[in-house]
Structures are given as structure tokens and as C-alpha cells.
Chains A and B, each alone.
Chain A
Amino acid sequence: MKKALLYSFVLMLALVTQAWAQTRTVTGRVTDAQTGEGMPGVTVQLKGSTTAAPTDVNGSYSINVPSAGGSLVFSFIGYTNQEVTIGTQSTVNVRLSTDAEAIQEVVVVGYGTQSKARVTSSISTVQAAEIKDQPVPNVAQALQGRVAGVQVNSGSGRPGAPINIVVRGRSSIAAGNDPLYVVDGVILPSNSAATPSSAGAGISALANLNPEDIESVDVLKDAAAAAIYGSRGSNGVILITTKSGSKSDKTTVNLSAYSGVQSLTNTLDFINASEYRTLYNEARSTVGLPALFTPEQVNNPEANVNWLDEIQRDRSKVENIQLSLTSGGNSKTQFYTSLNYFKQDGALLNGEFKRYSIRTNVTHQLSDVFRVGSNLAISKSLRDETPVDNSIFSPFPRALVARPDQPIYKADGTFAVNSFNNPVHMFQSLNYVNLANIFNSTFIEANILPGLKFRSAFGLDYTYLDQRTYNPTTSLSGAGSNGSASSGYVQTQNILTTQTLSYGKDFFDDKLFVDATAVYEFQWNDRENNRVDGTNFPSDLTPYLTSAASITGGTASQTNFRIESMLARLNLTWEDKYLLGASIRRDGSSKIPEAGRFGYFPSLSAGWIISEESFLKNNEILNYLKVRSSYGTTGNQEGIGNFASRRLIGSGANYNDSPGLALSAIGSPNLKWETTKQFDVGLEFSLFNSRIDFSADYYTKKTTDLLLNRPIPSTTGFSTILENIGSMRGEGFDFQVSSKNLTGEFKWNTSLNVSTFKNEVTELYENQPINGSFVTRTMVGQPLGSFFLIKSLGVNPETGDMMYEDLDKNGVISDADRQYLGSPLPDFFGGITNNFSYKNFDLGVFFQYSYGNELYNLSAEGTGGYASLGAAATATAGVPVNVAKDVYEGRWTPENVNAEYPRIVGGAAGTNNTRRSSRYLEDASYLRLKNITLGYNLPRTLTSKIKVSNARIYLTGQNILTFTDYSGFDPEVTSDYTVGNLGVDQGSIPQFKTYMLGLNLSF
């Protein structure tokens, strides 16, 4: 929106031709850059004169100006003044924008706002307008590729799945790498997405937040910005601000809707039943077994199923409808209210995500001293999920290996048996996960003295997550127990009270600006879990636990934590040139043992706006130049369990149905948070009247006191103890450039961001490496979670078997031959946006990319992998799995000796050919056309007839094109985000390719 204003401003300048030398009348219309409506009451003034005119109710004006030269100044309270050179124009239309212009922008910092020019820390902002055309349920997805230094991973194409955001690289091994989310000043708990049952693959609580209600997202990246969040700032902070009402007299009604069709971004061809049977026979012959299928059975199999097609949903859809009302009435009360419905089908059978949300944000000026406000959002999301996901035993990976020569159904209509589980049959199991959320942020603010403000805020984030599973009596999982079910909930109540005293005042003839803030905050977090399990159901029509003949288990528990914080911040600005910032936060957490309960997190930052110096002031090329630097300390405590530091005697040590107690935790009396010290230096400049904006940051960070479970002698009765051991460092660059390439009637803007980061573990407990679950290892001197594998040397042209590097030269390929072969972290990543507009048309093209990251294709490996050539046939038994067609066709045969893939072979050679090795480690660099949107604003002549102030229709494509060498389904996915498993593709559902049509109407 702010950019839009700039663009139009530039447009005006471009239209300047020459001056006339007589008095004449200029007319025009002033519109709100955001809503496009006419703005009444705007002052239009001829610069340097007393000639002025107001705009009328439609925003139109008429003013007498000299026939040559002169410029008009448009001003309105709360909006940025705009100056337009009249030139020869007789019509000057202007779009005004609230608090606009890049260098006068206000950014949201923790516990307040700051003028962007005066910011001395590294903060990136994404405005609602930039992300509004993306058909995603979760704002995190929309951030992907938008912000330098922020890496976003969608774990899978499952709607409502957890999204991973990493700000400036990972800095923890075991204590979590998720940034802190703060919505309208309320720190969100990180534990509200916990599910009562382990069925399913997790959800994102953030998916309950309607992205259309978001005004801006500010990412606090460096320590100076994040240190204000102290012990929770190490992974960066994401501040989300929701929309508020405007002060314009008119109430605006916005209606927006979109609807689209979606399919998997990518699919692979698999061999058919005849080819499969050829493979099966060949696998058997290599281990000396007779062919299983006659040529007739090979050529005319009784079934030929494409399982991948069978498990995909036909006509998968996404739809969203939003009605919002913005403000009105008077300057005292502003409100924003919205109703939203979002629905996204899954890619596969059953899957569905729905969200209903209501929001009302109100502020009211009680008197000239007091202002009150309250943001209230109620939402419910409903998910229909598959019970197992993100493991190789989920329906999707099973569909890749299931035998194509076995049918879906038997002749009697019941599910047929498949050697690798009938994937369609697996969808019989039901798993519903619903999340209800009540969010409130209420404040009262008092202007005590000029410049001195006190604000008392109360925040509530209450989530109720319920989950119900049912495995029907005929399902694969439920048949043995005659139907099985679970039902449970997790409720999380997070309450935050924040008292803020802030002071902002100019001194010494406005030379010195002092901005000081002091805060006291307390957070209460309480969580309850509850679950009951049962089996033995009379009918699949009675799937609730009340019908279970056996209640097989039940659990309920409660846990909580509290955090008390105090903080102070001081920002000094001298002549808008020299900037100095300092802050300190003191956090006390119930998670930390009493002795070291309180921690201090200071930061210091400074900036110099060089372009304000006389030697650069009014420079025509370089119109803005700033250097800044910061250093500070942040902490990370998410990885500490609520009572993990305590020596505890736990319940549950039962015997013979009598309750028992036993020491359940040995205690870590010296436990404290992880500490990250970060140094940042940044440069920002603008060229050619802000046609090019550039910012660059370099940072280094060092994390110490990493939380790790240290192994202890098992003679203590325990195997590990949680301690602060280990350290690591990281560094990286963030670049962001935006440019207005064409500023005429045809406008073209480009913005580009590039980020790099690398890290290295510098210390572990006795420097012992930590293995991930499958293929990674974290070791001193290596990046976090590096791939540690046997190195594949390709297919031996003579034998058709795989060759591996025998690192220890002992003639045997074993675990001892593993070596570091890459990292899941990209060398660099980012996004490129190009926006074009011509008259009423606009076109946005957004690419997102990642370079140098590797992905291990776990679901392809082994004798059970889809790219292994199904070598499971052994001397005694064994059924080969189905394989991808290009693997089958590219396999070694006596005729194709320079093959990419090994021969079909069973037994030991088959196992050796498909062993876990770098054969399945692939470069997953990619460039993806993430979003392309073509929009058309209906002309006013048309819209005014139907009493619509603004109407826009648009066509959007999401994830339309992907350029990658990755042979799996989607280079962007990873099955989980833990350090040990990042970059391991266990057969994740690829993301959606979506085409949709949208409409926005304002009344």
C-alpha cells in the first residue's frame, strides 16, 4: 500500500511536461491508496500560496493555479502529504496513503512502534497488500520468499500442516528453532498445537489466524530488535498486527472471495502391472527362483492399478469468502470487523481443512487522556486428516510402492489385500482434529503528561484442540480390534498482562528526540491434556467411544509455566542523523531453577543517517543512506520442559494395579536458557528519488549453553540429564532490493531478496556427535544436521551393481564408511517479485528459490523404496515393491551398461544396491513460480452505477512452475523440522498447484 503510493507519486512526476503561464483551473480526484475510495475533506493547496481548496464528498476538487509552473500539496490528517508538480496537466488525480513513504514508514517494534528511519536494528516488514492474493490458510506460508533472512518450509501439502519458519538460520540443536509469534502484542504460546493422540502429523495453531485480517507482519531479526523479547528472542520474533479501523467518516464494506481448483504440484509415473510382473520375475531369477508369472500373466494381469491416481481426490478445491467492515462514525471510535470462511480440500482422499473466523477490533477515544481498545477474534478450524502421515507407512508413500497388479477391491466389493497395504483401504481410518481459539487483546492507554503515556494491556490466547480417531472394523488398523477409537482434547490458556510506560519528546529545538519505554509483563500458561481409548465396536455407524465394549486406556494431565519480565528501552536521535538505542530485559521463568531464575538480555545499537549530512543532503542520485550496527544477547527456553530442571518423584510407577511412586527425573539444578549473542551491521540506501531501495545486513551469532541431554552413567538409574552444554556459531547476509523499473502509465516494479546463512557446531558434550534418526549427524566442525552417509560411486557398468566408497579400505562397506556429504541448509535462498500495471490491469509474478540445499529421499531408498528397483526378492520369499518408471527404464541391463540405476536383483546384492547411501541424496535447489496474479480493476464509470466504490477481479496461480533436479515429488518439503530430520523426505505429500479466481468489492 505504501509502495503503491510511491509508485503513483512517481507516476505523477513522470507525467510532468511543461508549465503554462496563465491562470487556469485544475481538477482532479483524491483517493485513498488503500481502498481506492474518494477522500472527502483533503486540503489541496497551491504551494507557496494561500490558494487552497477542499475535496468534496467524492474526493473531487477544483483549484485555480497559475498557467505556468507551480505544484499542488495534498494533505489530510493521518495521511502523508503529497506534492505534485502541475506542469501542463489539467487533471491531477492523487492517491493518498496513511503514514506512507518508505523512509517515513512506521515499523512495529516490540512494545511500541518506531519511525523506520530511526530504527537501528534489523527489522523486515511485509504488508497485507503483498500477500493478499495467495490462497493459503496460514500467514506463515505467505511469508515464504518475501523477507530476506527468513526461511519458510512447508512440511507437506497437507492443508493446515505446520509451517516452519527459521529466522537467520538455526541456532539450537534440541531446544527448538521456531521464532516467537506475537499477535497484537500478545506473545503466543508455542504449545497450543499439541495433539492428544499421536495419530496424524501435527497441525499449525497459526492456521486459525485469518491472513486477511492481517495488516502487517514485522520480523525482528537481529539481537537489538529481538532482545526486547529476552529469553525467547534467539530464534527471531514475528510481530503480527491485525487490521484496525480508519478515521474516515465513511464505513467501508469489503467483500472478498476466491475459489480455486488444486492438484499436486508434481506427480511421477510408476510402472504398470505388466512391467511390475516383469520386474518381479527378473528379481526372482537373479536369486535362482523360477519365474512367478507366465508370459500370459505378465501381459494380461488381472489388475492394473495406478495407486497414486486412486488416492488423489478428484476436483480438489479451495475457497475463501470474507466480509469485512472498516470503521466509520467519528474520529473517536474506529472499528474493523470481519467474518471469514476458508475451506481447502486435501490433495488426497478425505483430507480437508476448514476455518471459520470472526474478528472485531475496536478503539475508542474516551477523553483527551484516555484511549481504550480491544481486539477480539474467535475462530475454529476443522481438519479431516489421515491417521498416519509423514512416515513411510502413510497412504501416500504406500501408494508409491503398492503392487499395481493387485486390485483395489475384491469381487465382493470389499477391499483387496495388497502386499504393501492397500493405500485406498488405509483411508478408511478417520482422524479429526479441530482447534477452537479465542483471542483477545484489550488495552487502556493514558496520556499522563505531554509525551508520557501509560498503557495497561491484557492478552488472552485460549485454544481448545479436540481430536477424535476411529479405525473402522473393516479398516486395516481397526480390523484386529474390531474397531478402535480415541477421543481427547488439549486446552491451552495463555494470559499475558503488560504494563507499558513510554515517553517520547523532542529537546534542544527538536534536535534531540528521546524515546524511552519501560515494561512490566507477566505470562501465565496452563495446559491440560485428556484422552480416552477404546476398542471393540458393534458397528461402524457408532464410532464414538460410548459404543466401545472395551475402554483400553485413558489419561489426563496438566502442566503450566509462568514468566515474569521487566524491560527498558531507550532510543536517542540527534538531528535525525545520529541514532543510538539500548535495551535490557530481565526474564524470570518458572522453568528455570530458583537459583538462576532471572536472566538479563541487553542490547546496544547505533545508526548514522549519512544522507542527512550537509555533504549529501539533497543529493539527486543518493537520496537516502544509512549505516547501522547492533549487538545484543537473546535467549531460548522453548526446549526446556516445564519441570525439566526439577528432581521429581513421578507417579505411574504402578505394580499389580497399586499406585506407585519413583524418582522420575534426576534434576538439573544448574539449568538455564540457551544464550545467543548476535552482531549485525546493516546498510540502507535509496537512489534516484527512491526508485531503487536497497538494504543489506551481515550478521554473526554465537550460541552458547546449548541444551542437550547429556548421557550419564546408567548406574544412577537414569541415562541422560538435560544440561547446558555445547555451542555453535552462525553467520549470514540478507539483501533486499526493490526498484521501480518503469514509472509511466505502464508501471513495472521489481523486488528481490537474497539470504545466506551458514552455521557450525563448535562444541558438544565431550564433542560426541549426535545422530539424527536416519541420515544426519551433528558434529563439531560441521553444520547442524549434516548428511552423514556412505558415498555412492554410481552403477558399475560391468555388473550393474552399485559401487560405494570404502573409506576405511577394509574391503567391507559398513557404517564406518559414512562421511559428511552435504547439508539440508541452502547456500542462498529468497524471492523475486515483479509487479506490472497498466491502466486498470495489474500483474504480479512472484518467484521463490532456494539454492544448494540437499534433500534425502528416504521414501525412495531401501528394498522397500519406490526408486530402488524393488529388490526385496530373497532366496526364500519377498515381494518387490513398485518403482518409478524412469528408474525402471533407466536401470542397468546388459544392453544399457552406462545406466543411472542398478540392475534388478534380489538377495544380498539387491540389499547392497539399495542401501542407505548418497545414491538417494539429491540437490534440491529449486526455482518456483510461487504466485502469478492478473488483476483487473473495474472502471469507476461502471462501478459507480452499481454503488460499488472499488471492484477488482483477479486470476491467480500458485506453485505453477517448479524448476528443480530433485527426483522426488517436491523439493520444498521435509518430513519434520527437528535438527536431526530436517531435509529428510519420508514421502511427504507435495504442495498444491492452485488456479483460482478472486473478487474484491468495496462499498
Chain B
Amino acid sequence: MKNKVLLSCLLMAGMMFTSSCEDQLKIDPTASLAPELVGPSDASKLLTGIYDALQEGGTNYIYLSYVTEDLSADNLVYRATFFQHGEVDNNAILTDNVLVSRYFSGPYVAIQRANDLIEILNTNASIAESVKKPMLGQAHFLRAYAYYKLVTLFGGVPIVDNRDVVKVKRNTEEEVYNKIIEDLKLSIDNAPSFTNNFFASAEAAKGLLARVYLIRKNFPLAKQYANEVITSNKFTVATDYNSIWAPPYKSSEHIFTLNFTTTEGSNSLSYFLQHASMPGGGRAELPVDQSLIDAYEPGDKRKEASVVQVATAPAGWYSYKHRDPNGTGGHPLYVLRISEMYLIAAEAQYLISNSATDAEALASINYIRTRRGLGELATLDLQKVIHERRVELAFEGTRWTDMKRTPSPTNPQKSLATVFLESKGRTANDALYPIPQSAINTNELLLPNNPGYN
């Protein structure tokens, strides 16, 4: 009897284990969500994810891309460690440069995260307009900025709308700029107006659009959008230039910065740029080009806020704009400032009127100069605006594009960049970065590469 009871218990237990365990194979992770579990209510988290992509998410060293224009141009030089920086500084980039490869792949992380969110927002009727619009506005701005980073370094790049694992061929430079303009206009229509420089706003979209129109030589619209930002009265040009770069990085100059909190602490740009003796320390890898030091006019308050001379080895001038006095890795990346809007307005107006004494243009540029401890200009020319941009926006990632789009005063057939390149024994082809070999390896449709890299 005992045996029979036990036996039946045993068989029952066995059957219990055996039956329908198959459902138990359906388990979900706890640090991620299945896409179908992410709904409209999670849209704001996905928006945060786009900021994260531009800031650090998914691409190591992406913060270095925020000064690569200065390194390609004449603002920074290469000293040590990453030889890939040396290639950029020498304008002799090889297609296997792993940093440039990150500068190419990094923005696509942001673009695709933006694509994901925009699709959710546009296909879910259940989301209230009041909730949808601010997010859509920010997503379009961030996507535009990612394409902006690509097109300025690489020229025409693929425009992608979704995550299908397919090979996409390159669009033309014009098509990419048109995509950027389209996104920025959608952003202006939807984004909230400015409240916090750590987040995208309609004003940030207008500011970037002004810069893009300037590059595209649409001067009336460049001026129009620059002026719209200025007249929004959300921003003021700082009287103390030094304060713009100091914690908590909330100067009224900033239209948009990508913030890094000390919790994240993953921005080491300061560490690359600064000398060990400077507050927060540093590795002195990318010192300042002497020509930039020479470019500061006497009395320019921007000089001491922007660069520091160090006598101990490795001696030289070092950038002081990317400050991290406590060495926490928590300092922002600069994207747009109000001062640039004045300079865009000045440049655009000058190029519209083509008058050296254009009062409106002079007023705009002198508005900045007088706040930087300098005297007013009586006459204007394009090189003076570009010079002003150089000292005002040094290490803010605009210099190489400025040089590429501006004719040389000595040889107007060529750009400043071309003349600069030829003086170093390079060619105009080196103005663009190569499409990285790693990207070509997975997508041969990216060929031909930019001229000179094939």
C-alpha cells in the first residue's frame, strides 16, 4: 500500500513537471524592453535616448568629434597619443582612421533613434498633440543636427528612414542639406520655445537653420533666422566671456549645449585638450595652433578665457573653453550660441549688400566686438567676419566649415581651406573626410569615396 501511494505521488509529480513547461521558455529581459512593450507613453524616454546618442550613447569618443573641425583647421594641433588625431591635423586621413569611423557611425545612432521616435509619434493617433509636438520638434532638430555633423565632414551621405539592414547609397550633399532644412523647419513648427540650453528648442532649430543657410549661401534666410533668434530675447551676449565656459554652464549665451552630468561623467574632452597643470588636469594631446594665438587682437577678452599658456612640459598654449575644473567628466559640448547669430546676421547682411560700410552688418559685428573688449570696426569685409568667427567660436566645431565655404583673400578662386591645405602640401580633396573603410566594407554602395580617397 505504501508503495502504491508513493508511486502515484511520484508519477503525479513527474507529470506536473512534464506538462506545459514550454510556456516557461517565454521569458523577457529585465534591463531592456521588447519593442512591442514600448508605447506612446514611453516616447519621452526615447527622446532622451536621442540626446544620449549625440552626447555619448553607443559611440565611444564621439565627444572628440565636437572639436575635429578645429583640428582639421588651424585652431588645434596634434601632440600625442592618438595618431588618428595626427592624421586629422595633417589633413592626411586614412580610410582606416578609427576616430573618423566613429564620427561617421555615431550620428547614425542618433538619426535612427530619432527615426524610431518620429515613427511612433506619427503613427499613434492616441498621443495628444500637446504631448506629441514638443517631442517631434526636438527629434527633428536632433536628427537634423546629426545629418549636419555628417554632411559637413563627409559631404553627401546616405539618408536613412528606418533600421532595415540594407545597403543604402549616398545621397548628394544638396539632398542631405535639404533633408536638414526640412527637419529644422519641422522642428521650428513643433518644438517648444527655449527654456533650458540643455534641450533643443525652436530657437535652436532657427539658429542651426541660420548657419545652414549661410553655408548654402542663402543669405536672406540666414539673416532672417539669425535675427529671429536674436529678437526672441531669450538670450543675451555675455559681458563676461569667461563666464560662458564655467560651471554650471548655464550662461544666457547658450542656445543649445549637450550636457553631461557628473553622474554620467563621460566627457573627457577637457582631458584631451588641457595641460596637466590646468584645473581638472589633462593630457595635453591637442594644443592650440600658434596662428590662433596670433589671431587675437590686443585687448580681446576672449583670449584669456579661451587659451592658456603653460610653461612646463609639454609647454605651449592650451584650450581652456572645455573646462572641467573638478575632473568629473561632467561638462557640456557646445552646439549653438547667441553670439554666432550676430555674426551670421552680420555676414549675411554684408554679403547681401556687398557694402563695406553696411550699417546693419557693422552694427551686428560691433555688438559682439564691443562686448569682447575690442573697438568698433568702421568698415567690413568677409575676412573680418570670418576672423571674428574664428576667435569667437574657437574650439566650438565650426572653423573647418567656415574655411571651406569662404574664399581666400589672396586667391579668391580657392577657399581658405584649399589654400591652407595646399600650403601644407595637401590638396583640395582633403577638405572632406573619407567615408571610412569600415563603412565601405559593409556597404560597397558608398563607393566611390570622396575624391582623392579612392
A residues engaging B (CB < 8 A)? 366-367, 369-370, 444, 446, 448, 454, 456, 497, 499, 520, 522, 524, 557-564, 588-590, 594, 597, 642-643, 646-666, 711-717, 719, 721, 768
Contact A666 B32, beta carbon cutoff 8 Å:
no
A contact residues around B14 at 8 Å (CB): 454, 456, 499, 520
Contact A717 B17, beta carbon cutoff 8 Å:
no
Contact A662 B46, beta carbon cutoff 8 Å:
yes
C-alpha gap A717/B107 in the complex (Å): 8
User: Does B198 sit within 8 A of A, measured CB to CB?
Assistant: yes
27 CB < 8 A contacts A-B: A369-B6, A448-B7, A454-B11, A558-B30, A562-B25, A564-B22, A594-B26, A646-B29, A648-B29, A649-B37, A649-B38, A653-B49, A655-B49, A655-B51, A655-B55, A657-B263, A657-B264, A659-B45, A660-B46, A661-B42, A662-B52, A711-B442, A713-B165, A715-B443, A716-B164, A717-B108, A717-B163
Chain B residue with Cβ nearest A641:
B29
- Name A's interface SS: strand
A contact residues around B30 at 8 Å (CB): 557-559
User: Does B167 sit within 8 A of A, measured CB to CB?
Assistant: yes
A-B pairs, 5 with minimum CB distance? A660-B48, A662-B49, A717-B112, A653-B49, A714-B105
The listed residue (A499, A647, A768) touching B18 by CB distance below 8 A is: A499
Chain B residue with Cβ nearest A369:
B3
Nearest CB of A to B59, in Å: 10
B contact residues around A448 at 8 Å (CB): 7
Contact A367 B112, beta carbon cutoff 8 Å:
no
Contact A650 B31, beta carbon cutoff 8 Å:
yes
> A650 with B24: in contact, given A454-B10, A661-B49, A713-B168 (CB under 8 Å)?
no
Residue-wise interface mask of B (314-350) relative to A, using a CB-CB cutoff of 8 A (1 in contact, 0 not): 0000000000000000000000000000000000000
Contact A653 B53, beta carbon cutoff 8 Å:
yes
Nearest CB of A to B6, in Å: 6
Contact A662 B53, beta carbon cutoff 8 Å:
yes
A contact residues around B166 at 8 Å (CB): 713
Contact B48 A659, beta carbon cutoff 8 Å:
yes
Contact A656 B112, beta carbon cutoff 8 Å:
no
Q: Which of B8-43 contact A (CB under 8 A)?
A: 10-11, 13-14, 17-18, 21-22, 24-35, 37-38, 42
User: Does B104 sit within 8 A of A, measured CB to CB?
Assistant: yes
Nearest CB of B to A599, in Å: 13
Contact B3 A456, beta carbon cutoff 8 Å:
no
Contact A660 B442, beta carbon cutoff 8 Å:
no
Contact A664 B6, beta carbon cutoff 8 Å:
no
The listed residue (B6, B26, B113, B263) touching A717 by CB distance below 8 A is: B113
Residue of A499, A666, A714 with highest tally of chain B CB at under 10 A: A714
Contact B48 A654, beta carbon cutoff 8 Å:
yes
Residue of A444, A446, A649 with highest tally of chain B CB at under 10 A: A649
B contact residues around A366 at 8 Å (CB): 6
C-alpha gap A133/B317 in the complex (Å): 68
B contact residues around A444 at 8 Å (CB): 6, 10
Nearest CB of B to A874, in Å: 13
The listed residue (A564, A642, A661, A711) touching B45 by CB distance below 8 A is: A661
C-alpha gap A713/B160 in the complex (Å): 11
A contact residues around B2 at 8 Å (CB): 367
User: Does B261 sit within 8 A of A, measured CB to CB?
Assistant: yes
C-alpha gap A557/B158 in the complex (Å): 37
Residue of A370, A522, A646, A716 with highest tally of chain B CB at under 10 A: A716
Q: Which of B37-73 contact A (CB under 8 A)?
A: 37-38, 42, 45-53, 55, 57-58
B contact residues around A367 at 8 Å (CB): 2-3
Nearest CB of B to A529, in Å: 10
User: Does B187 sit within 8 A of A, measured CB to CB?
Assistant: no
> A715 with B6: in contact, given A499-B14, A643-B29, A664-B32 (CB under 8 Å)?
no
> A497 with B17: in contact, given A646-B29, A647-B35, A648-B29 (CB under 8 Å)?
yes
Contact A654 B7, beta carbon cutoff 8 Å:
no
The listed residue (A522, A648, A656, A716) touching B261 by CB distance below 8 A is: A656
Contact A660 B163, beta carbon cutoff 8 Å:
no
The listed residue (A557, A646, A711, A717) touching B441 by CB distance below 8 A is: A711
Residue of B47, B48, B104 with highest tally of chain A CB at under 10 A: B48
Contact B27 A562, beta carbon cutoff 8 Å:
yes
A contact residues around B22 at 8 Å (CB): 564, 588
B contact residues around A557 at 8 Å (CB): 30-31
B contact residues around A659 at 8 Å (CB): 45, 48
Nearest CB of A to B104, in Å: 7
Contact B108 A446, beta carbon cutoff 8 Å:
no
Contact B165 A656, beta carbon cutoff 8 Å:
no
B contacts with A, residue count (CB < 8 A) = 66
User: Does B111 sit within 8 A of A, measured CB to CB?
Assistant: yes
Chain B residue with Cβ nearest A717:
B112
Chain B residue with Cβ nearest A661:
B45
Contact B24 A562, beta carbon cutoff 8 Å:
yes
> A446 with B165: in contact, given A522-B17, A655-B48, A662-B49 (CB under 8 Å)?
no
Contact A653 B33, beta carbon cutoff 8 Å:
no
B contact residues around A662 at 8 Å (CB): 46, 49-50, 52-53, 57-58, 113, 116
Contact B32 A559, beta carbon cutoff 8 Å:
no
Contact B7 A446, beta carbon cutoff 8 Å:
yes
Contact B52 A648, beta carbon cutoff 8 Å:
no
C-alpha gap A658/B46 in the complex (Å): 11
Contact A714 B438, beta carbon cutoff 8 Å:
yes
The listed residue (B24, B33, B37, B165) touching A712 by CB distance below 8 A is: B165
C-alpha gap A448/B38 in the complex (Å): 53
Chain B residue with Cβ nearest A520:
B18
Contact A369 B163, beta carbon cutoff 8 Å:
no
User: Does B363 sit within 8 A of A, measured CB to CB?
Assistant: no
C-alpha gap A655/B258 in the complex (Å): 9
B contact residues around A560 at 8 Å (CB): 27
The listed residue (A597, A658, A663) touching B163 by CB distance below 8 A is: A663
User: Does B259 sit within 8 A of A, measured CB to CB?
Assistant: yes
Chain A residue with Cβ nearest B168:
A715
A contact residues around B7 at 8 Å (CB): 369-370, 446, 448
Chain B residue with Cβ nearest A367:
B3
C-alpha gap A719/B30 in the complex (Å): 24
Chain B residue with Cβ nearest A720:
B442
Chain A residue with Cβ nearest B51:
A655
Contact B109 A717, beta carbon cutoff 8 Å:
yes
Nearest CB of B to A751, in Å: 43
Nearest CB of B to A484, in Å: 14
Contact B442 A712, beta carbon cutoff 8 Å:
yes
Contact B46 A717, beta carbon cutoff 8 Å:
no
A contact residues around B439 at 8 Å (CB): 713-715
Residue of A367, A499, A654 with highest tally of chain B CB at under 10 A: A654
Contact B6 A446, beta carbon cutoff 8 Å:
yes
B contact residues around A564 at 8 Å (CB): 21-22, 24-25
> A651 with B32: in contact, given A715-B160, A717-B163 (CB under 8 Å)?
yes
Contact B13 A597, beta carbon cutoff 8 Å:
no
Nearest CB of A to B22, in Å: 6
The listed residue (B32, B199, B261) touching A649 by CB distance below 8 A is: B32
The listed residue (A520, A589, A657, A658) touching B25 by CB distance below 8 A is: A589
Nearest CB of B to A689, in Å: 46
Chain A residue with Cβ nearest B52:
A653
A contact residues around B58 at 8 Å (CB): 662, 717
C-alpha gap A661/B116 in the complex (Å): 11
C-alpha gap A664/B29 in the complex (Å): 12
The listed residue (B33, B158, B261) touching A657 by CB distance below 8 A is: B261
The listed residue (B17, B32, B264, B442) touching A650 by CB distance below 8 A is: B32
Chain A residue with Cβ nearest B17:
A497
Nearest CB of A to B383, in Å: 38
Chain A residue with Cβ nearest B31:
A557
A contact residues around B57 at 8 Å (CB): 652-653, 660, 662
C-alpha gap A352/B52 in the complex (Å): 44
C-alpha gap A902/B142 in the complex (Å): 57
Chain A residue with Cβ nearest B109:
A717
Nearest CB of B to A593, in Å: 11
> A559 with B51: in contact, given A446-B10, A660-B46 (CB under 8 Å)?
no
